[in-house]
């Protein structure tokens, strides 16, 4: 009997070891799977949050960038720079101050060519910019040299950081008169970020923190900056006396492919683990970073997974123990089995209590996520309003861009008519005046069409004779490029060949493409431009506009269809964007091929059957 008893105890010990191993392995595996799933869900949520915040930032930037473009063409600002009479300066000061509430800008001011500010929207304030000299600022020198510039810096007078957007102001002859500057501060954006537990900040191309939900991190750096670069930045006064120290962020081993870092808490507690999402901000060279606390999420997921595993494994192990008990124990062990079963029930009760506590924590987290969703809905409403303002600025800039050619042609015909009247050739002068009237009607059609677009959206397509549209575009460009038109050749395009679209809008597309081609061959004696059909089918056709200019550089080609991106002096960067949208509106497409031997733009259009 002692041998039998020892054998029984040995078997029960083996069973217990196996059960513990199975339970521990199951808990570990279940916990890890739950933690990884929670990290995946958190990463997806943080990515959505980061994309929403980035979209709002882009909308603010796009809305602000249209303002200096429009102000640079303002006649009162040009007059004030030419003749800064006290009465005129007072009117300009008031006009700039009236623009602030509706544009969201912090300060708007104009600067003479020597760098001295002569008018500003804050002219009534003690820290007014009027009289201050900004010749040392990169946004001033860049605008004077290149026509436009952007710089994020600490204000030398206000001591407040912001993005400075500048545009050179020129007279009718293209001579520089000064610079108009719009300063944009991001306080509302930062305040909205501060309502979230997730740290959000934006860095420039040097890794310096510019915009942040934690003001104590501003002007810190992602990595150590070389001493010579640090001295150059401080001498430029871009960030004042900021020490440019590195951020209190420490990299940690990645978890399931997710980047994890440790940071100091706002209260100063060290090593708070965060999941990191970083996104580029297009058109700015900036990068947005969002840090989401991950420790509580991981801990809750581990407990949830382990409790779920316990809910499955414990009953199974209990059943296995019961079966072993029935097969391996005699009736004499019934009392001991009942005691073991009671202990097992006690353990299950304890696990049930833990499961209930975990459920309560999970419900609290769900309530927090619900509150976050409500805040995100408010941010989305702000984003819709910001997008409306950005679209309004693009429409205004687009109107100015598209009527430029008809206005230039009207000026040329007006000068010719004056000359013919002086010479007594009244009939020829009448012909020029009739052409001016047609061009005036054309400008009215362009602006009327843009208004119709704003009210109704898409216009219905109609049959257009392709050859007539090409002739109309060449007619608009004749005055500006009269000396280069002998190098423009048109292949044989069948008369009566029609496409689906709208004539004024198709002429706008051709004007943009032909103007770019004529500017590309300017100064090249042996260069030429050809217009012709490269493909013709029963359903559609390809119209190619080719030049033998120097071709497009890679960095220009990659950003060709991004709004407000241009390589031209004084350009708006809207021509090709508008052309692409017009062609796409009528079921076509616009593509480009370029090399050192020239550039070809191909317009694919549907035929009118």
The structure's pTM equals 0.49
Q: Where are the domains of the chain?
A: 2-44+297-397, 72-185, 188-293, 403-457, 458-606
pLDDT of residue 362: 82
Q: Is the dihedral of CA 302, 303, 307, 308 positive or negative?
A: negative
Q: What is the mean pLDDT of the chain?
A: 82
Find the length of the chain.
609
The pLDDT of residue 59 is above 90 = no
The pLDDT of residue 146 is above 70 = yes
Report the number of secondary-structure helices (H) and strands (E) in the chain: 14, 18
| 441-461 mean pLDDT | 61
Confidence band, pLDDT 50/70/90 cuts, at residue 236 = confident
Fold of 72-185: Beta-Lactamase (3.30.450)
Cβ-based neighbours of 65, under 8 Å, separated by 6 or more: 165, 393, 564
Residue of 162, 67, 159 lying closest to 397 (CA atoms): 67
CATH code given to domain 458-606: 3.30.565.10
The pLDDT of residue 394 is above 70 = no
The pLDDT of residue 283 is above 90 = no
pLDDT of residue 364: 84
Cβ-based neighbours of 83, under 8 Å, separated by 6 or more: none
pLDDT of residue 579: 87
Confidence band, pLDDT 50/70/90 cuts, at residue 571 = low
| 506-521 mean pLDDT | 90
Residue pair 209/221 in contact (Cβ under 8 Å)? The answer is yes
Dihedrals phi, psi of 130, to nearest 5 degrees: -60, 130
The pLDDT of residue 13 is above 80 = no
Q: Is-same-fold flag (188-293; 458-606)?
A: no
CA distance 516 to 509: 11
DSSP 371-429: HHHHHHHHHHHHHHHHHHHHHHHHHHHHHHHHTHHHHHHHHHHHHHHHHHHHTT-HHHH
Q: What is the pLDDT of residues 577-605, one digit of tens each?
A: 888 988 998 999 999 999 988 999 999 99
| 365-386 mean pLDDT | 64
Class of domain 188-293: alpha beta
pLDDT of residue 383: 43
Residue pair 105/183 in contact (Cβ under 8 Å)? The answer is yes
| 245-260 mean pLDDT | 82
CA distance 540 to 609: 10
Q: Is 510 exposed, middle or buried (0-12, 13-18, 19+ CB in 10 A)?
A: buried
The percentage of the chain sitting over the pLDDT mark of 90, rounded to a whole number, equals: 34
pLDDT of residue 4: 47
Q: What is the pLDDT of residues 334-362, one digit of tens each?
A: 667 778 888 888 888 888 888 888 888 88
The pLDDT of residue 533 is above 60 = yes
Give ∠ CA 55-56-58 in degrees, rounded to 5: 65
| 232-259 mean pLDDT | 82
| 407-416 mean pLDDT | 86
196's tokens: 């979230």
Confidence band, pLDDT 50/70/90 cuts, at residue 34 = confident
pLDDT of residue 138: 93
């Amino acid at each position: 009997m002692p041998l039998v008893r020892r054998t029984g105890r040995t078997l029960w010990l083996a069973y217990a070891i196996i059960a513990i191993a199975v339970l521990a392995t199951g808990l570990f595996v279940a916990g890890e799977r739950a933690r990884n799933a929670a990290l995946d869900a958190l990463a997806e949520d943080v990515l959505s949050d980061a994309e929403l915040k980035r979209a709002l930032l882009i909308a603010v930037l796009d809305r602000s960038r249209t303002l200096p473009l429009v102000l640079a063409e303002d006649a009162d600002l040009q007059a004030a720079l030419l003749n800064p009479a006290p009465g005129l300066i007072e009117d300009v000061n008031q006009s700039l101050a009236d623009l602030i509430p509706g544009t969201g800008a912090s300060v708007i001011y104009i600067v003479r060519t020597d760098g001295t500010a002569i008018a500003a929207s804050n002219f009534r304030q003690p820290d007014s910019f009027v009289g201050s000299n900004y010749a040392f600022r990169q946004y001033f020198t860049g605008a004077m040299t290149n026509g436009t510039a952007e710089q994020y810096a600490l204000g030398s007078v206000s001591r407040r950081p912001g993005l400075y957007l500048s545009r050179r102001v020129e007279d009718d002859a293209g001579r520089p008169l000064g610079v108009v500057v719009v300063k944009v501060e991001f306080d509302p954006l930062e305040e909205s970020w501060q309502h979230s537990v997730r740290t959000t900040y934006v860095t420039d191309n040097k890794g310096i923190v510019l915009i942040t939900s934690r003001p104590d991190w501003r002007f810190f750096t992602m990595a150590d900056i070389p001493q010579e670069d640090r001295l150059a930045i401080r001498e430029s006064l871009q960030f004042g006396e900021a020490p440019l120290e590195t951020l209190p962020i420490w990299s940690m081993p990645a978890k399931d492919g997710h980047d994890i870092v440790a940071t100091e808490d706002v209260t100063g507690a060290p090593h708070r683990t965060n999941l990191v999402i970083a996104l580029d901000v297009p058109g700015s060279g900036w990068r947005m970073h969002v840090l989401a606390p991950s420790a509580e999420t991981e801990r809750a997921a581990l407990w949830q997974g382990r409790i779920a595993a316990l809910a499955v494994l414990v009953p199974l192990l209990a059943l296995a123990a019961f079966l072993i008990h029935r097969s391996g124990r005699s009736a004499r062990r019934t009392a001991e089995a009942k005691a073991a079963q009671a202990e097992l029930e006690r353990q299950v009760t304890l696990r049930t209590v833990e499961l209930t506590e975990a459920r309560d924590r999970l419900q609290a987290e769900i309530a927090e996520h619900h509150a976050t969703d409500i805040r995100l809905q408010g941010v989305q409403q702000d984003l819709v309003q910001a997008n409306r303002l950005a679209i309004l600025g693009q429409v205004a800039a687009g109107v100015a861009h598209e009527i430029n050619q008809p206005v230039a042609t009207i000026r040329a015909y007006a000068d010719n008519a004056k000359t013919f009247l002086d010479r007594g050739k009244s009939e020829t002068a009448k012909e020029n005046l009739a052409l001016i009237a047609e061009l005036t009607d054309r400008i009215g059609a362009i602006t009327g069409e843009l208004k119709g677009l704003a009210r109704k959206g898409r216009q219905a397509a109609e049959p257009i004779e392709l050859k007539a549209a090409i002739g109309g575009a060449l007619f608009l460009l004749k005055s500006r490029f009269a000396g280069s038109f002998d190098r423009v050749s048109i292949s044989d395009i069948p008369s009566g060949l029609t496409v689906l679209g709208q004539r004024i809008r198709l002429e706008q597309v051709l004007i943009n493409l032909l103007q770019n081609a004529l500017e590309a061959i300017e100064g090249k004696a042996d260069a030429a431009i050809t217009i012709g059909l490269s493909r013709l089918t029963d359903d559609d056709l390809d119209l190619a506009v080719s030049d033998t200019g120097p071709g497009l550089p890679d960095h220009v080609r990659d950003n060709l269809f991004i709004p407000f991106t241009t390589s031209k002096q004084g350009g708006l960067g809207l021509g090709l964007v508008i052309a692409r949208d017009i062609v796409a509106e009528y079921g076509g497409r616009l593509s480009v091929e370029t090399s050192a031997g020239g550039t070809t733009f191909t317009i694919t259009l549907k035929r009118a059957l």
